[in-house]
Chains A and B, each alone.
Chain A
């Protein structure tokens, strides 16, 4: 990668800053952040990472809650039904 030559003085990290900026912006686009009055170029990388961590934890929590709900629903229906198998696959 041509950017690697620029990173020769950066020691152990052989990734270019542009790459990281690009990834961070991609990450930011995934996050449900407030876009309304906040200039997007001022968000620091650490903030994006923090938001990502929080968001992932939230999603984990949601998955757990939904799994709980689905398993409860599973008990209400006929376990041999196709829906039951669907729900089981959802719960994973």
Chain B
């Protein structure tokens, strides 16, 4: 891509083909255009580049049926005049089409010189004003495309413009670019002030539009149409379409970022074969919830392990990461405040009696009575404090679990199968099982 002059503005053109010839065209005032057209097409500054460019421009002009011919003439004229000193050092770099290497090579003092040169020649008098107003769009496109595409010979000037503009308008853009980390969008915000007449509050509106307008994949067609209309109309409408183009460009880039992140997310989610975004987001939400649940379970398990944790089993997401049981009915558990005797360490070895295991969360009132009957308050209190300290990650869950784990001396009744089908577990059978378990060692 290269940045060229077309009708008083910088046009980004592809060197090979007019891939995006319309995207960044800017208007040149008629007098300057005439002057440019009158200028000799002979390149003076950097013969190699300019000739090459000239040929490309001719081809492109023929192809595009636009006023691209004057771009090269203008560019050769401009660059011969003042940018030769900039061009020549960077010419070898530019010819190799290295995208952003020349960028830091530009010495800061040269920025101002290049713009001083703009106002020197007489035919440029009109252009000086035009250039100043169109400075920001130049800067915009320069920064946008310099970051994206290989820099061509026009880029040193535009880069200078962009660096100067960024320095000058960074305070204004910094405030408005808070939500968007990409630097190129900052320069777009810089481009907004010249077009404030139409946009009003451009930054916020654009950003909100971007935020809401995510899935506009069909917008790629619009810039081309806009460009055609723009060229045919006068310069006043081009400002509006320029703003629209800038918006489209930023919108497209934003969408690309979002799509890229969607793909990354899709890779993270197991067995995600959804093609559309909404269902993929749905699945991502569900997966995230189940992951959170799983981490909580496991951390609780780790915390409880030193102690004999009782009814963990039904809370364990055996199959499919807990997808079967997105909501565990915590409140349905024991209401008693007694806690398991699973205190850490010595007096609770593996061989000792395990606290009973609660089969189903729906076991009603009789169980609390059983628990109270066999509770040991000391141990339960100590273990409750231990639970609180060991499981800091589950602040919200601790209370229901504490209620649930009030099974100090009931026997451990562990059935994996029942856990997986806990929704269908029958309270009566589990109760019977527990009572039998409880009574046998007694």
| Residue ranges of A at the interface with B (Cβ–Cβ < 8 Å) | 7, 9-21, 23-24, 26-27, 30, 42-46, 49-50, 52-53, 55-57, 59-60, 62-63, 66-67, 69-70, 73, 77-78, 81-83, 85-87, 89-92
* CB-defined contacts of B306 to chain A, threshold 8 Å: 73
Q: A56-B287, A86-B414 are in contact. Are A50 and B261 (CB under 8 A)?
A: yes
Partner of B281, one of A7, A23, A67, A78: A23
Q: Are A42 and B302 in contact (CB under 8 A)?
A: no
In the assembled complex, 30 residue pairs joining A and B whose CB atoms fall closer than 8 Å, in A order, are A10-B216, A11-B218, A12-B217, A13-B276, A13-B277, A19-B278, A21-B214, A23-B282, A27-B281, A27-B285, A30-B292, A42-B178, A42-B207, A46-B254, A49-B258, A49-B265, A56-B269, A62-B295, A62-B298, A63-B295, A66-B295, A66-B302, A70-B301, A73-B305, A78-B350, A82-B313, A83-B305, A83-B308, A85-B416, A86-B309
Q: Is the CB of A10 within 8 A of B215?
A: yes
> Would you give the shortest CB distance from B15 to chain A, in whole angstroms?
29
A47 to B350, CA, bound (A): 49
Q: Which residues of B contact A12 (CB under 8 A)?
A: 217-218
Q: What A residues does B264 contact at CB under 8 A?
A: 49, 53
Classify chain B's interface size.
Answer: 35 or more
List chain B residues, Cβ under 8 A from A52.
265, 284, 288
- CB < 8 Å neighbour of A87 from B212, B288, B301: B301
Please tell me which one of the listed residues A21, A78, A92 contacts residue B212 in the complex, with CB atoms under 8 A apart: A21
A57→B288 CA distance, assembly (Å):
10
B291 contacts partner chain A, Cβ-Cβ < 8 Å: yes
Residues of A within 8 A of B12 (CB): none
List of A residues within 8 angstroms of B370 by Cβ: none
- Of the candidates B261, B291, B298, B357, the one whose C-beta lies within 8 Å of that of A90 is B298
Query: B98 → chain A, closest Cβ, in Å?
Result: 28
User: Would you call B262 and A49 a contact (CB within 8 A)?
Assistant: yes
Contact (Cβ within 8 A) A7 B215: yes
Closest 8 CB pairs of A and B: A11-B218, A82-B414, A49-B261, A66-B298, A23-B281, A13-B215, A59-B291, A73-B305
B287 touches A89 (CB 8 A): no
Chain A residue numbers with a CB within 8 Å of B213 are 17
A39 nearest CB neighbor, chain B only: B179
Residue among B207, B215, B351, B413 with max Cβ neighbours from chain A (10 Å)? B215
Contact with A along B247-284 (1 / 0, CB 8 A): 00000001001100110110011000000111001101
Tell me the smallest distance from the CB of A75 to a CB of chain B, in Å.
Answer: 11
Q: A24-B281, A82-B357, A90-B298 are in contact. Are A55 and B309 (CB under 8 A)?
A: no
Distance in angstroms between the alpha carbons of A5 and B318 in the assembled complex:
42
Partner of B302, one of A20, A50, A73, A85: A73
Q: Determine how close the nearest CB of chain B comes to the CB of A90; give it in whole angstroms.
A: 5
Taking CB atoms, residues of chain A closer than 8 Å to B281 are 20, 23-24, 27
> Which single residue of chain B is at the shortest CB-CB distance from A81?
B350
Residues of B within 8 A of A7 (CB): 215
Is A86 a contact partner of B179 (Cβ separation < 8 A)?
A: no
A83 touches B216 (CB 8 A): no
* Chain B: CB-nearest residue to A42: B179
When C-beta atoms are compared, the residue in chain B nearest to A48 turns out to be: B261
Would A30 and B288 count as touching, CB distance under 8 A? yes
The residue that B217 contacts in the complex, of A11, A23, A49, with Cβ under 8 A, is A11
Shortest C-beta distance, A2 to chain B (Å), equals 15
Which B residues are in CB contact (< 8 Å) with A18?
212
